[in-house]
Every structure is written in C-alpha cells, then in structure tokens.
Structure 1
Amino acid sequence: MTAVNVFVSFVVIVLLQLAGMVILSKMTPFNDIEELNKGNVAVGLTFGGQFLGIAIILGVAAYTNSSIGHMALWFAVGYACLVLSYWIFDWLTPGIKLSDQLKDGNKAVGLLLACVYIGVAFAVSSLIV
C-alpha cells in the first residue's frame, strides 16, 4: 500500500468516524457536547461507547476490504446495526426512556448503553469478515 493510499484511507476513516458520531448524537433530543461540557458522565460513557463501537466496525471494515468503497459499504451496514441497536434497546426497556435517563445523568444507563454499542460492534464485525 502506498503512502497516498494510506493517507486517503486515513482521511476516509476519520470522516466516517466523525459522520457516525454526529448522526448518533442527533438521535437524542439534547446536545451531547453541551451535556459533556456540563460534566454529564452518563452521556460521556455513552458517547465513548459510540466512539468505540464505530471504531471497531471501521477497523474491521478497513482490515477486511481492499477498496475504500467496499470498506465504506460494510461500515454503513455495521453502522446501521449500531443505530438500530439504540432503538431496539430503547423499545425493549419500556420502563426506561434512554434519552431522559442520559440527560438526567443516570450513569448505570450510560454504562449499559456503552456496552450495548461495543457488544453490537463486536458481534456485527464478525459478520463483515
């Protein structure tokens, strides 16, 4: 792989990571960055789990595909699974409104949701190979 290919791949990976974080943060009715600035640990845990989940999927997609197009395609599939996992988990816990709990700083929900993102990323990554 040439230096140009490495650089282009790196730029694409960073852009996909940022796009993934922005889209996931739009799923909550509050501003994630604002909550982080307030010191909301629950949102920080969830945000970290999102970042790791996206990075896991991106890493496996980059490792197992020789073209940027295929990498982006498999990333999109894995990313869609992460987004769905939030909505499914929210639906499966009817007594807990995830966004409300996160906004209120419920660390247990933040940690659990972070683990959901990371776990789904690991599981979905095994399908990408």
Structure 2
Amino acid sequence: MNSFWENEFVKIAAYFSVVVLCVIVFLAVFELVTKYKNWEEIKKGNLSVAMATGGKIFGIANVFRHSIMQHDSLLSLISWGVFGFILLLIGYFIYEFLTPGFKIDEEIQNDNRAVGFISLAISVGLSYVIGAGIS
C-alpha cells in the first residue's frame, strides 16, 4: 500500500483534491465575512467582486503551493494551508480597518474597480509573504 501513496500521480491527485476542497471551504468563509454574495455579484457582471474573489482564490492557492513544496504529509499541508488562510483573513480585516473613510465591502459591491483591484493585489501580495514564511 505504501507504493500506492508514493506514486507521483496519486500524490498530485491527493494534493489537488485537498486543495480544491480547502478553496471551497475557505471561499465559503470569505462569503460569510463579506456583506455581499460573491457568486450573485459575479453573475451580475460585477468586475470588482470578480477581481477580489479571484485574488482570494489566487492567494489561497499560492499559500497551498508553498505548503505542498515544503511538507510531505497531507496533514501538514492542510495545517499550514489553514494557518496561511487565517493570516489572509486577518489581512482582509486589517485592510478594512485601515480604510475608515469607506467600507471595503460596500465599495466592492458597488463595483468600485479601484477597490476591487487593490483587494486583489493585497490578497496576492500577502499570499507571497505568507508563502515565504511557510518556505
């Protein structure tokens, strides 16, 4: 059975499955903390929400990329991925806190593309910092 789990195709499929499941769960968490419904807004063509959501997806995937590169077990990979996600979530709240003049969620929901783009950049940028820490 050990040779089964050591097969590169099996490892990649396991990593892929775990990361996809985690991305779905983490996006559901982001959906809970934002005031808008991501997929409803994207369906309506809200580019700001699409950019912010895309940044979150990229950020989560990038954190898991570094986790996969540095850890051998699925449990370790998941643990570091969850830790990285928590840091991304904290970054989201810090971003909201540092902009007291307006509400990030409201601006993104109103399709303020500048705010959506900055949200994307923050998620991507923080994911590189978190990934470097994991590495």
Q: Is the structural similarity TM-score above 0.5? A: yes
| 1:8 corresponds to | 14
The Cα of 1:18 is off from its aligned counterpart by: 1.4
Aligned partner of 2:127 among 99, 108, 121: 121
Deviations 1:83-121 (A, max 9, x none): 001101100110020011011110000000110000000
Deviations 1:20-55 (A, max 9, x none): 222112211121110001100110110110011011
- Root mean square deviation, CA, Å: 1.0
CA–CA separation in structure 2 for the residues paired with 1:43 and 1:51: 12
Letter in 2 for 1:8: A
CA–CA separation in structure 2 for the residues paired with 1:7 and 1:48: 23
CA–CA separation in structure 1 for the residues paired with 2:68 and 2:44: 35
Q: Which runs of 5+ in 2 are unaligned?
A: 1-5
* Partner SS state of residue 17, structure 2: helix
Q: TM-score, normalised by structure 2?
A: 0.91
Aligned partner of 2:44 among 35, 38, 42: 38
The Cα of 1:7 is off from its aligned counterpart by: 2.2
CA–CA separation in structure 1 for the residues paired with 2:11 and 2:121: 33
Q: How does 1:1-129 map to 2 (within 5 A)?
A: 1-2=6-7, 3-129=9-135
CA–CA separation in structure 1 for the residues paired with 2:35 and 2:129: 28
Letter in 1 for 2:24: L
Q: TM-score, normalised by structure 1?
A: 0.95
CA–CA separation in structure 2 for the residues paired with 1:32 and 1:17: 14
Letter in 2 for 1:126: A
Letter in 2 for 1:110: G
